A and B are shown apart, each in its own frame.
Chain A
Amino acid sequence: MTKIERIEILRRADAESRSKKLLFPVLGLCILIGLVIFAASWGAAASVTAVDVLKSVLGRVLPFTGRDASQLANTIVWNLRLPRIATAIVAGAGFAVSGAAMQGILRNPLVSPFTIGISSGAGFGASLAIVLGVGLMGNGRYLIIGNAFFFALFSACLVYGVARLRGVSPETLILGGIALMYLFSASTSMLQYVATENQLQGVVFWLFGSLSSSTWNNLGIITIVFLICFPLLMRYSWDLNALATGDEVAISLGINADRVRMVVMILSSLITATIICFTGIIGFVCLVAPHITRMIIGSDHRFLIPFASIVGATLLLAADTVGRTIFAPAELPVGIVTAFIGVPMFLYLLITKRRQYFQ
């Protein structure tokens, strides 16, 4: 074979593999859209059917069609179902993206933003507000949100600060994070111990995580943070591939490993903290969505990060929809359902996927 022929074969194989990688996201988006339609037309208020939802959406989005639904349908669709669906999508995408990025910088498939103490920090902050009514900003519900956000980021900064003292290696970040996680969990337990029954219920409910209090305003905040952080993470996505093969290799390829690690950690922490301060702790998506994505599309972060956002959104929306419909009008906390849906899916892929996707 001549060299020209060999190059031609390579060129074709390369083009084919790239176009294949685009197929999955398209497929994923179709599934997500289908799920949205299903989730919008199903709910505790069974009288509001798919037809009502369609009418209500058309009435608002395209008023000139002259269609409109009843007052009740409009309220349920626009104040309950749609903000909740949209929040599930953005939150799921945000969790998955920050999980994928965090696993990349820490070179460890078992970590998530929660490993560095973000969730336990948030849990502690929220408990503090619920039980003792003390906090740093806001009042009422916003006291809980503000507190959770502050302590989530405080925990991330503390972990990073400790790691800085010893050189920011993945090992120090993980171990420091785990230590803080225990500290905050213990503090939360202590608060639960002294709480009244009502407060305790509030804490437990918050720690389970729920999308039931989604509003357009909260969604707006989450979305803005996500839309700012996501392109920045994408900018570093290729560097994450190099970082996965070791700092030395990354540096020899002209990448400032410490800076990439710091920036990516800040961005993922910010996304996660913003989401969980509104939703409570919905942890599992962070960990499992990147893995599911990796098994489907491989470990190249340039594709992994955007596709993980679709997988995460789908997973969280599916879990939330099941959680609020299966025993309607009672609700299962979304965190629990996520595990029930995500784990079998994860195990199925783990068993059926032939090649090792991480070592």
Chain B
Amino acid sequence: MTIEVQDLSFQYGTLSVLKHIDLKVEDGEVVSMVGPNGAGKSTLLKCINRILKPTRGAVLIDGEDVKLLNLRRAARFFGYVPQSALHTFPATVFDTVLMGRRPYVDWVVSSQNREIVYEMLIQMDLDHLALRQFNELSGGEQQRALIARALAQEPKVLLLDEPTSNLDLRHQLELLDHVVAISKERGISVIMAVHDLNLASQYSDRIIFLKKGELFMSGTPEQTLLPRNIREIYEVEVMVNNDSRRPHIVPIGIR
């Protein structure tokens, strides 16, 4: 399952947020989007997912234009985890994940659909918390529950908007371990917006840099995470340490 973003642009009124983005993501590939605040990372995720309608360009999934799918069909391709979610009326973890079956089920949830929910709960190590209230969970557990819900959609592509931003160090690693494992195991492509360059480096097959709504560059962590690229995008001086498995970035100061 290949997902292709072709010449995608998006405007809020007259403000141009994304300009001519071209991107191709293969089966089971983990792609991190990095770039400064306001570079358009979240907007690109939402455009791919049809939450926002691109002003021009298209998103193709195996050559099929996503625009032509109805919302429900689209929801079977894309699982989305927002940066922050509202929980005015909390549900149990089980019901939260069950919601992911909505694209397949109208009202009566068959036992087959329940089995899928059990499976995802176990996959994300949430089975012991299934009947707890969502808002009683820790940040890391909540994030895992939201990913489990997205997985219950049985998507081809997982779109994550800063999945680690509220998590402590251990939970950041744990969460991304889960994400990468699922991606490889089920052949799900992952596109995530990330702020932490070292996490992006460690967990991604490919990194794309966004700058002011444009795709600045795309490539493996080794190809992209170079001091001059980071200087160009963030206006920050860094050292890149290549001793470990993946490039490791140490910030030095503001340019």
Residues of B within 8 A of A (CB): 46, 49-51, 70-76, 78-80, 82, 85-92, 94-95, 99-100, 102-103, 107, 114-115, 118-119, 121-122, 127, 130-131, 133, 135-136, 153
Contact = CB atoms under 8 A, between A and B. Distances in A.
A6 B118 CA distance: 9
A355 B91 CA distance: 12
Contact of A107 (B88, B94, B114, B118): B88
A359 B135 contact: yes
Q: Indicate the member of A14, A104, A234, A300 with the most B CB atoms within 10 Å.
A: A14
B74 A254 contact: yes
B10 to A, nearest CB: 15
B90 A253 contact: no
B107 A238 contact: yes
Nearest to B79: A252
A305 to B, nearest CB: 12
Interface of A: 3, 6-7, 9-11, 13-14, 17, 103-104, 107-109, 234-235, 238-239, 241-242, 244-246, 248-249, 251-256, 294, 298-300, 302, 355-359
Contact of A109 (B74, B82, B89, B136): B89
What does DSSP make chain A's interface, helix, strand, loop or mixed? helix
Contacts of B94: 14, 17
13 contacts: A10-B122, A17-B131, A103-B89, A107-B89, A235-B107, A244-B87, A249-B85, A252-B80, A253-B100, A253-B102, A254-B73, A294-B89, A359-B88
Given A245-B85, A251-B51, A254-B76, 17 more contacts: A6-B127, A10-B122, A13-B130, A14-B130, A238-B99, A241-B91, A241-B99, A244-B89, A245-B99, A246-B85, A252-B80, A254-B70, A254-B71, A254-B102, A300-B91, A356-B133, A358-B90
Contacts of B107: 234-235, 238, 302
B102 A6 contact: no
The 10 A-B residue pairs with the shortest CB-CB distance in the complex, in nearest-first order: A254-B75, A299-B89, A254-B72, A252-B80, A254-B103, A10-B118, A254-B71, A253-B102, A246-B86, A244-B89
